[in-house]
Amino acid sequence: MDRRYLVTALGYAILGISLGIYMASTKNHIQNVTHAHMLLIGFVISFVYAVCYKLWVANDNSKLVNLQYWLHQVGTIIIIVGLYLMYGNHIASNIIGPVLGVGSILILIAIILMKILVIKNNNV
């Protein structure tokens, strides 16, 4: 799982940096919030999870490990796509807001599961 998270994190970094380069080259920074979330919850948190799995959580394929990974990924994708649509004026904030809330809750559950996995592993 540490490698899966590392590869995923680097994918988000490529997307986030690409969006940043696009914004800089067009001088249109309307997607700066999307860019920041792509890098923070996509790249940084996924990278931190990779480190957690490498150092403190057994790399098994248990249901809890897979659930933690997929909750974070689905939540991250919901937030990135939702913010992109909202800040691009494709969907009104009052419509996409509840969807963004669901994405945020999924990410919260994923980090709670990570804490449980770290404590459960007994290496801390």
Q: How many CB atoms lie within 10 A of CB 80?
A: 21
Cβ-contact 39, 5 below 8 angstroms: no
Tens digit of pLDDT at every position of the chain (124 positions) = 999 999 999 999 999 999 999 999 999 999 999 999 999 999 999 999 999 999 988 767 789 999 999 999 999 999 999 999 999 999 999 999 999 999 999 999 999 999 999 988 876 5
Q: Are 53 and 1 in contact (CB under 8 A)?
A: yes
What pTM value is reported for the model? 0.92
